[in-house]
Amino acid sequence: MNIKIREIAESDFEALLALFLEFAVFEKLPEKMTNTLEEMRAEKAYLKGFVAVNTDNEIVGYVTCFFAYYTWIGKSLYMDDLYVRPSYRGCGVGTKLINSVIAFAKAEQCKKLKWQVSEWNQPAIDFYKSLGASVDGVESNCDLLLETNFQHQ
């Protein structure tokens, strides 16, 4: 299978938005997908990552990431999403995508690559462990949507 990995470009946004929704459905959380094409364009400076494209130049997977600073270790890269369309899984696409993120993190002198995985997604857990990642099951997600105007009293 001839798959090429390249950085995300603004011309990818429309196809990526469809994949973002596909990923949200896969994660059993479609209601959390509120991103729009307009928001992606307005916030493009923050959208970093890579896409996997087939010989027809169709995006069949993506990975997004951003820089973070962890007090215990320093500059790191956080991998937000890694998604590969079902028909392309098991063909090395996910490995190519994560290897691109690892190479990027190393080039940027990051000390760690961090990400989360759903507890029910055993194939992903097995994939990450096969890469040498530790999956500790210690941390839980905490989300605070700032658009709700929440203020602690």
Domains of the chain with bracketed CATH: 4-148 (3.40.630.30)
101 pLDDT more than 80: yes
Instruction: Pick the closest to residue 3 from 85, 80, 78 (CA basis).
Output: 85
Average pLDDT over residues 116-129: 88
Mean pLDDT score across all residues of the chain = 91
Which residue is catalytic, options 62, 78, 83, 128?
128
pLDDT-based confidence at residue 119 (cuts at 50, 70, 90):
confident
Contacts of 67 (CB under 8 A, 6+ apart): 75, 76, 77, 78, 108, 110
The reported pLDDT for the residue numbered 140 is: 62
15/96 Cα distance (integer angstroms):
19
Average pLDDT over residues 107-127: 91
128 is catalytic: yes
90/1 Cα distance (integer angstroms):
11
The reported pLDDT for the residue numbered 136 is: 83
Percent of the chain with pLDDT over 90: 74
Please name the helix (run of DSSP H) or strand (run of DSSP E) that holds residue 66, with its range, or none. Answer: strand 59-70
